């Protein structure tokens, strides 16, 4: 049986059911979803699922691009077109398609809506329930593995957006002990009052930046030393300089943190020199 999906206003055969490569759901996980059970061709607990959907959308400030009633029609239509009697209907709404940038698109774009449905094997599911299942335990690290450069960037997106709304350019993630982790899409650095370059050690809690590694080489090349350790926001407030590093921003001086001037409020000599010297240590292919 051929399958159908709803994609942004159209019911399409599965092979044609595509979203744009710059959909923010695809690039940032900047979206939400719901799954309803289908039984006897009817949606189970639709009202509750739609309420949770609206809450999720509200938390991300993504508008529902159609009425709840129209959405209900789409869900049913996809179930019917796929002739699902027992199974599931899947709904995903992302912030929409826009040039890749962590911050919300401005002006806003129309959110993307995708709905699919498929049958499940009731006999198999009942057999499973009759025997019961085994589970294993794992540490709850959702999501404690930001060392992996995944596209699960929703926290980064929200941090960047908050920074922009508060008149900043970027945000630094700080943990519960006041330790600076990294920026929303860059590594964070300070130069202490004593002149030491400090950046957080790379473990599972930050992304091991390529630019960060190049700066390590540049610093050594200039006879300076790096302290690879945690530093707190308080330390950053008292720093002589602060900066961030990333492939697209290189070494970018930070002159203000949470409204407080860093150093003399101007790009400092260490960050400026590292920016200047960067290409001596980077590899050009
Ligand atoms: N940290 C995060 C969260 C990032 O997203 C990035 C770059 O996108 C970086 C650090 C810096 O990495 P790189 O220097 O490889 O660009």
List, for residues 41-61, the tens digit of each pLDDT value. Answer: 999 999 999 999 999 999 999
- Kindly state if the Cβ of 30 falls inside 6 Å of ligand 1: no
**Burial class, 205, CB count within 10 angstroms (exposed 0-12 / middle 13-18 / buried 19+):** middle
Which residue, judged by its Cα, is nearest atom 3 of ligand 1? 185
- Kindly state if the Cβ of 246 falls inside 6 Å of ligand 1: yes
**Distance between Cα 1 and ligand 1 center (Å):** 45
Share the mean pLDDT of the chain: 97
| Rounded distance between C-alpha atoms, residue 197 and residue 218, angstroms | 12
For 255, which DSSP code?
-
- 212 contacts 203 by C-beta, under 8 angstroms: no
Is the pLDDT confidence value at 2 over 80?
no
List, for residues 189-248, the tens digit of each pLDDT value. Answer: 999 999 999 999 999 999 999 999 999 999 988 888 899 999 999 999 999 999 999 999
**Distance between Cα 207 and ligand 1 center (Å):** 6
Which residue, judged by its Cα, is nearest atom 8 of ligand 1? 185
Q: Which of 18, 69, 149, 176 is catalytic?
A: 149
Residue 221's pLDDT is what? 84
**Distance between Cα 243 and ligand 1 center (Å):** 13
Three-state secondary structure call for residue 179: strand
Residues 209-241: b if buried by 16+ CB within 10 A, e if exposed: bebbebbeebbeeeeeeeeeebbebebbeebbb
pTM more than 0.85? yes
Instruction: For residue 49, report the phi and psi dihedrals to the nearest 5 degrees.
Output: -65, -40
Using most ligand atoms within 8 A of CB, pick from 209, 215, 247, 275 the residue to mutate for ligand 1. 209
**Distance between Cα 171 and ligand 1 center (Å):** 13
Instruction: For residue 244, report the phi and psi dihedrals to the nearest 5 degrees.
Output: -125, 155
**Distance between Cα 212 and ligand 1 center (Å):** 9
- Kindly state if the Cβ of 238 falls inside 6 Å of ligand 1: no
- Kindly state if the Cβ of 186 falls inside 6 Å of ligand 1: yes
List, for residues 5-32, the tens digit of each pLDDT value. Answer: 999 999 999 999 999 999 999 999 999 9
Interval 94-119 mean pLDDT: 98
In the residue annotation, 81 being an active-site residue is answered as: no
> How many CA atoms does the CB half-sphere of 147 hold within 13 Å?
10
List, for residues 121-162, the tens digit of each pLDDT value. Answer: 999 999 999 999 999 999 998 999 999 999 999 999 999 999
Residues 6+ apart with CB under 8 A from 158: 60
């Amino acid at each position: 049986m051929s399958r159908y999906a709803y994609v942004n206003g159209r019911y399409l055969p599965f092979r044609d059911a595509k979203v744009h490569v710059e959909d923010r759901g695809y690039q940032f996980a900047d979206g939400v979803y719901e799954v309803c059970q289908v039984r006897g061709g009817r949606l189970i607990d639709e009202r509750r699922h739609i309420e949770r959907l609206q809450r999720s959308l509200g938390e991300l400030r993504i508008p529902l691009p159609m009425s709840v009633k129209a959405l209900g029609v789409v869900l049913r239509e996809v179930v019917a077109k796929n002739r699902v009697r027992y199974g599931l209907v899947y709904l995903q709404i992302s912030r929409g398609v826009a040039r890749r940038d962590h911050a919300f698109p401005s002006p806003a774009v129309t959110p993307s809506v995708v709905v699919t449905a498929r049958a499940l094997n009731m006999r198999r599911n009942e057999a499973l329930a009759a025997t019961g299942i085994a589970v294993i335990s794992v540490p709850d690290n959702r999501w404690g593995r930001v060392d992996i450069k995944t596209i699960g960037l929703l926290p980064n997106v929200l941090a960047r957006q908050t920074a922009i709304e508060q008149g900043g350019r970027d945000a630094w993630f700080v943990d519960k002990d006041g330790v600076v982790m990294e920026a929303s899409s860059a590594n964070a650095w300070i130069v202490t009052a004593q002149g030491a370059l400090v950046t957080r050690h790379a473990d599972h809690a930050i992304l091991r930046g390529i630019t960060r590694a190049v700066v390590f080489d540049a610093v050594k090349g200039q006879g300076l030393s790096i302290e690879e350790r945690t530093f707190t926001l308080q330390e950053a407030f008292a720093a002589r300089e602060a900066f961030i590093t990333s492939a697209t921003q290189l070494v970018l001086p930070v002159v203000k943190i949470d409204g407080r001037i860093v150093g003399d409020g101007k790009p400092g000599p260490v960050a400026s020199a590292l920016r200047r010297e960067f290409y001596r240590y980077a590899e050009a292919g």
